[in-house]
Amino acid sequence: GSEWRRIAYVYDRQTFFPLLENGRLLKQEGTKTAPSDAPVLVGWKDGDAIAEMTGQLAELPAAVLGAMSEIHYKPTREYEDRVIVYMNDGYEVSATIRQFADKLSHYPAIAAALDRNVK
């Protein structure tokens, strides 16, 4: 069908705008309450980076999207596409946009194996 999944939300001017897996941003459907079904993109200014990130997020199952709280764009000199993912369970995951789907698709298994006392 023509129903595109919401794979993230872009936070802008105190509003969360849904981002669809086809790359469309729903400017008319902004909400003031933080969504829990998909991660929020924080600090993203580069349209190309967002587009690349969208492609990576589209590869992930809903359960993984729902486990992510925020994705912060944090480029460094070494890694221009570095991101930090804040998970709903309190963990932080450092990744790059290029490797994002590969790395995060394993998250549920990794999280299950992690020691709950070590954050």
pLDDT of residue 46: 80
pLDDT of residue 10: 94
Q: What is the DSSP letter of 66?
A: H
Query: How many other C-beta atoms are found inside a 10 Å radius of the C-beta of residue 79?
Result: 15
What does CATH list as the number for 6-113? 3.40.50.10960
d(CA 62, CA 70): 15
Q: Is it the case that residue 119 has pLDDT exceeding 70?
A: no
pLDDT of residue 117: 59
pLDDT of residue 108: 80
In the chain, domain spans: 6-113
Written as one letter, the residue type at 65 is L
Write down the pTM of the prediction: 0.88
Whole-angstrom CA distances from 45 to 48, 50, 85, 118 are 9, 8, 17, 33
